[in-house]
Amino acid sequence: MAAPGQATAAPAPTAPFARESTAPFAPAPTAPDGKQPVATGYGGAVSTVDPDASRSAIEVLRKGGNAMDAAVAATATLGVTEPYVAAIGGGGYFTYYDARSRRVYTIDGREKAPGAMRETSFLDPATGKPLAFDEAVTSGLSVGVPGTVAQWDTGLRRFGTRSMASLLQPAIRVAEHGFTVDQEFQDQTATNEARFRDIVPTRELFLPGGRLPQVGSTFRNPDLARTYRELARRGPSWLYGGELGKEIVRTVRHPPKDPAATRNVRPGLMSDADLPAYRPVWRDPTHVSYRGVDVYGMAPSSSGGTTVGEALNILGNYRLSPKDPVTALHYYLEASKLAYADRGAYVGDPDKVDVPVRELLSRGYARERACRISPDTAATAPVPPGSPDGRYGHCRPPAATARPLGQEGPQTTHLVVADRWGNVASYTLSIEQFGGSGLTVPGRGFLLNNELTDFSFQPPAPGAAPDPNLPGPGKRPRSSMSPTIVLRHGRPMLAVGSPGGSTIITTVLQILLNRVDLGMDLPDALAAPRATQRNTPQVFAEQGFLDRYGPALTAKGHRLALFPGPPAGQIGAATGLEFLAPGLVRAVAEPVRRHGGSALVVWPSR
């Protein structure tokens, strides 16, 4: 048997790294709302989904702040302009390249279950069956202990050069003066309108005058401005053990539902002791080498780094060429299928369960999994997981039956920042669904997350394989967030990530495939039509992907269908950076998906 990393016969030789196109690059035009999807220049760069957030980061960079500082400022502003995905009532994962040490660091700021949570907490006591997903979401039961503010504090103490108080100032200005409502903000509000009407402070804040905010109007959040001011003055302890934390707990335990509403909004389990007990965790990043580059990602409790890394290791066994994109995409879909099977079987909170990270990312295991792939025929999904046990042979039988894909909200956000010194931040954060739990802390201007619905709701049947993602006291639910940094010769080459729930992994993986194997530059790699295979019977794809590749992949046995959303027909909303030359950075955002993103640089190149 081959030991991990020991050379054995591979299915096919690998291709060399595909170089970036040398065709002249034309800057993308600026949209009427001020968004531009691509910006190239010097002195630092940022890409987010929102122009106000990107401008906040650029302001910090121009005043001498670094990538960590700018990422916090941008994220605080997203809490104003993207309140349904980026509130301080949530959490996330932060990947950071430190130019001084030339190392990648990661901070796990994922929300934690309260100490009173048990494996059966999402079972209806009256029936013993799992709660309906929608009922679990809009409840105090779904709210995890928020990690965002503690994550900011942890990152700034290690790598920042500015105080949190100063970095909150751009966001305070936006909250006070307001931002212009765009179609995306109105669409997200409309998606939540029915449940927002049932929660009194949420209705008052996000349905002013009882109506949807109109496109082109100005939306202000003075409550959040006051909250940020107080946070700037008092510091994170105001949330983790202070009065703000107590207000969060009261909201969770006594959801402020309209007495006239018929919706069943269940109380949660959080206590005053849960917030001061919260700590972010510095974790070693995941790392795989692929076609001569080094790909760093987020380790568990996220499944992003292990699943992206395992799929890349599987793909590394094959020659993939831009001359034959159908074959490359076939292997991409099959590698995703296998990696997702292992994700469901083995990945959870490493502080609570044993996650075989080293074996999942070993090349020996990737070769064993790769031999399950037929070059001409798609495997019937769901496929079973493998055995990452360190004993790797040729096409060993599966370890167990496949686990169904769990529910995971697609409403997240991602940003990337680089500074003049070469530091790079790749940051994904969320409150889970658009609008999280639907519970706004009264008078505070922010929503609370529903991240605990990322847990499996029901324990496995007696005799079945254990589920690493069951709820438990102080446990972090598994996530798919995949903030990724790619180095070449020890220096940053790419930084990328995306929202999208369990599709985040495939979005990041497909962007890397497009850039590294199919020879696209980053704007094209990010804009290209997407498909997602998460070990489900169907491959869900965007219409452009179906039009371009559907017939050829169907002939190989893939069952393709239009991605149902939300939003329908759109997978992810990625942001990325590409490092073109010393000091020269290209920031890239979505040109179309979710009405486009905002890429900016400090000093644009001519």
Cα atoms in the Cβ-side hemisphere of radius 13 Å centred on 540 = 19
Domains of the chain by residue range = 38-282+408-604
Instruction: Judge residue 144's burial from the number of C-beta atoms within 10 Å of its C-beta, 0-12 exposed, 13-18 middle, 19 or more buried.
Output: buried
Question: Mean pLDDT: which of 18-22, 307-311, 432-436 is highest?
Answer: 307-311
Count of alpha carbons within 13 angstroms of residue 467, beta-carbon side: 23
- In the set 412, 428, 440, 503, the catalytic residue is 412
Locate 585 and state its tokens.
């950075």
Asked if the model's pLDDT at residue 25 lies above 60, the reply is: no
110 is in an annotated binding site: yes
The number of beta carbons lying within 10 Å of the beta carbon of residue 62 is 14
Q: What is the pLDDT of residues 316-327, one digit of tens each?
A: 999 999 999 999
Residue 22 pLDDT exceeds 50: no
Q: Which of 332, 309, 377, 247 is nearest to 514 (CA)?
A: 332
For residue 27, the model assigns a pLDDT of 38
User: 126: how many CB neighbours lie within 10 A of its CB?
Assistant: 6
Residue 572 labeled ligand binder: no
Using CA atoms, how far residue 505 sits from 335, 340, 510, in Å, is 12, 9, 9
Residue 33 has pLDDT above 80, yes or no: no
The region of weakest confidence among 63-72, 238-247, 403-412 is: 403-412
Listed in sequence order, the residues at least 6 apart from 199 whose beta carbon sits closer than 8 Å to its beta carbon are 138, 255, 256, 257, 258, 265, 438, 439, 440
Annotated binding-site residue? 387:
no
Secondary structure (3-state) at 586: strand
Q: Do the annotations mark residue 479 as ligand-binding?
A: yes
Mean pLDDT, range 382-392, rounded to an integer: 94
Neighbours of 450 (CB within 10 A): 31
Task: Give the mean pLDDT of 87-112.
Answer: 97
- List 414's β-bridge partners, or say none: 428
SS (H, E, C) 455-477: CCCCCCCCCCCCCCCCCCCCCCC
d(CA 64, CA 73): 13
Cα distance between residue 170 and residue 226, in whole Å: 13
Cα 265 to Cα 29, 83, 319, 379, distances in angstroms: 46, 21, 53, 42
Confidence of residue 49 (pLDDT cuts 50, 70, 90): very high
Phi, psi of 42 (to 5 degrees): -125, 170
Could you confirm whether 77 is annotated as catalytic? no
Per the listing, tokens 């496109």 go with 215
The strand pair at 179-180 and 286-290 is best described as unpaired
pLDDT of 304 over the 80 cut: yes
Kindly tell me if the per-residue pLDDT of 405 is higher than 60.
no
Q: Is 73 helix (H, G, I), strand (E, B) or coil?
A: helix
Residues 6+ apart with CB under 8 A from 327: 320, 321, 375
User: Is residue 90 marked as binding?
Assistant: no
The residue-averaged pLDDT of 303-307 equals: 98
Q: Estimate the crossing angle of helix 325-346 against helix 363-370, to 10 degrees.
A: 110
Helix/strand/coil for 345:
helix
Lowest mean pLDDT among 11-25, 460-474, 499-513, 537-551: 11-25
Q: What share of the chain is helix, strand, coil (3-state, %, to 5)?
A: 35, 20, 50
Task: Write down the H helix ranges in 347-456.
Answer: 357-360, 363-370
Displacement of CA 566 from its chain's centroid (Å)? 15
Question: Mean pLDDT score of the chain, rounded to an integer?
Answer: 92
User: In CATH, what number does 38-282+408-604 get?
Assistant: 3.60.20.40
The predicted model gives 441-448 an average pLDDT of: 98
Q: What is the pLDDT of residue 35?
A: 87
- Cα–Cα distances in angstroms (integers) from residue 45 to residues 158, 171, 522, 579, 588, in the given order: 21, 19, 15, 10, 10
**Integer Rg of the chain from CA:** 23
The pTM score is: 0.92
pLDDT interval class at 406 (50, 70, 90):
low
Query: Quick one: average pLDDT of 581-595?
Result: 95
pLDDT at 594: 87
Q: Which two tokens stand for residue 189?
A: 């509000």
Percent of all residues in the chain with a pLDDT value above 70, rounded to a whole number: 92
Rounded to whole angstroms, how far apart are CA atoms 309 and 157?
A: 29
Rounded to 10 deg, the angle between the 67-81 and 222-234 helix axes is 150
**Residue 391 burial (C-beta neighbours within 10 Å; 0-12, 13-18, 19+):** middle
- 209 burial type by CB count under 10 A (0-12 exposed, 13-18 middle, 19+ buried): exposed
Pairing mode, if any, of strands 531-532 and 491-497? unpaired
Burial class (CB within 10 angstroms; exposed 0-12, middle 13-18, buried 19+) of 494: buried
Full DSSP string of 518-580: S---HHHHHHS--EE-SSSSSEEE-HHHHHHHHHHHHHTT--EEE---SSTT-----EEEEEE
User: CA-based diameter of the chain, in Å?
Assistant: 69
Is a pLDDT exceeding 60 seen at residue 72? Answer: yes
Segment 269-287 shows an average pLDDT of: 98
Task: Give 113-154 pLDDT, tens digit per residue.
Answer: 999 999 999 999 999 999 999 999 999 999 999 999 999 999
C-alpha closest to that of 386 among 362, 417, 354, 352: 362
Of 265, 302, 270, residue with least CA distance to 283 = 302
Type of residue numbered 50: D
